[in-house]
Amino acid sequence: EADIYQTPRYLVIGTGKKITLECSQTMGHDKMYWYQQDPGMELHLIHYSYGVNSTEKGDLSSESTVSRIRTEHFPLTLESARPSHTSQYLCASRGVGTSGVQETQYFGPGTRLLVL
Amino acid sequence: AQTVTQSQPEMSVQEAETVTLSCTYDTSENNYYLFWYKQPPSRQMILVIRQEAYKQQNATENRFSVNFQKAAKSFSLKISDSQLGDTAMYFCAFMKPYAGNMLTFGGGTRLMVKP
C-alpha cells in the first residue's frame, strides 16, 4: 500500500471557522483526489489534481477549495465551516503502490469532520 | 457517464463459509479497471482486489476472488473461508484508464461475518 497520510483524523469545530484538512503522500504520485462520504453512504469525488498547480472540481459540488503547490501535498480548505459540511473526507492518490500495480487509487485514513 | 450498482445493501455469513457480493456497472468503454474496496469500522478504504477489463482471467487475492463477466457487465466478489475481520462495508468501483483516473463507486454492501 502507498503511504498516504491525513491530519487531523477527527475534528470538531464551530460554525464559521476556517479549517484545512491535510493530505500528504510520500510515493511521488502525480494524481490525487478528495472524496466526501456520509456515514454508510458511497464516496463522492469533490476535487482532484493531475499534478503540481493542477486542480479540478469533481462530480459532487463542494464549497471547499484545494491547492497543489507540491507533489506530495494536497490540502483541502473550508473558508467558513457549516453543519452541512459534517462528513468524512477521504484523500487518495494514484500511482504504483508497493504491490507494483499501477492504475490504483490508494486511500488515506480519512478525516471525520463535525461542525457544530 | 459510468454507473455502478450494488444491489445488496446488507449481507451476513457464518464464519468459515463463503459469500458472494454482487456488482454491476454500465459503461460504453472497452478498456477500464474494476476494484473492490473494503471499509472496516475504522472507515479507512482498503483495496481488496482489482481487475483489468482486457484480462479474461479472473483476479484472485488469497481468500478473495472475482467473477468478471464483461459482456454482462458484472463483477462479483467471492470471499472464501470468511473471517470475523472481513466484517466491513464493501464498495465496488469503476475506473477509466485516462481522464484523471477517477473512481466511480457503488453504494456499498455491508457484510457481517457471524461467529
* Contact (Cβ atoms closer than 8 angstroms) between residue A85 and residue A76: no
Cα–Cα distance, A109 to A22 (Å, whole number): 11
pLDDT band at residue B42 using 50, 70 and 90 as cut-offs: confident
State pLDDT tens for residues A89-107: 999 998 755 555 556 888 9
pLDDT band at residue B99 using 50, 70 and 90 as cut-offs: low
C-alpha cell at B107: 453504494
Give the closest-approach CA distance of A27 to chain B in angstroms.
17
A1, A103, A112: residue with CB nearest B95: A103
Q: CB contact, 8 Å: A107 with chain B?
A: yes
* Contact (Cβ atoms closer than 8 angstroms) between residue A4 and residue A91: yes
Tell me the chain A residues in contact with residue B44 when contact means C-beta distances shorter than 8 Å: 107-110
CA distances to A16, A88, B39 from A44, rounded to whole Å, are 24, 11, 15
pLDDT at residue number A98:
52
* Contact (Cβ atoms closer than 8 angstroms) between residue B1 and residue B28: no
pLDDT band at residue B92 using 50, 70 and 90 as cut-offs: very high
Q: What share of chain B is helix, strand, coil (3-state, %, to 5)?
A: 5, 50, 45
State pLDDT tens for residues A51-72: 999 999 988 888 999 999 999 9
